[in-house]
Amino acid sequence: MALDFNDPELEFSDLVYAYQSWVMAVINDEKLDGEETLLSEEIAEDALNAMRFLPGEVTSAIETSLARVYDVDPEELASLLFPED
């Protein structure tokens, strides 16, 4: 289900969920050798759109928390999420 960024009912938690889903999918696909690929174009697109509305502190906190939970080096996670940087 793609997020509708014009929906007045869209809440901050929806944006956080979209970004968190993307980070978790990247970790699953790249680090956990998940049996099925979780990352989809829709998940990535929603997350990148959500980033426009989320403060950097929030996206950083999500990345740091999930890196800790899944025992992934935060710098390695950053390079997986943003390989062009």
Tell me, what amino acid is at 66?
A: L
Asked whether residue 54 is assigned to any structural domain, the reply reads yes
For residue 72, what pLDDT band results from cuts at 50, 70 and 90?
very high
- CA dihedral defined by 22, 39, 78, 53, rounded to 10 degrees? -30
Q: Is residue 42 part of a domain?
A: yes
Interior/surface letters 5-35, b for 16+ CB within 10 angstroms, e for the rest: eeeeeeeeebbbbbbbbbbbbbbbebbeeee
Tens digits of per-residue pLDDT, 10-69?
899 999 999 999 999 999 998 887 678 999 999 999 999 999 999 999 999 999 999 999
In a domain, 1, yes or no: no
Structure tokens, 50: 């959500």
Number of domains forming the structure of the chain: 1
- Domain boundaries, position 72: 19-81
Residue 53 covered by a domain? yes
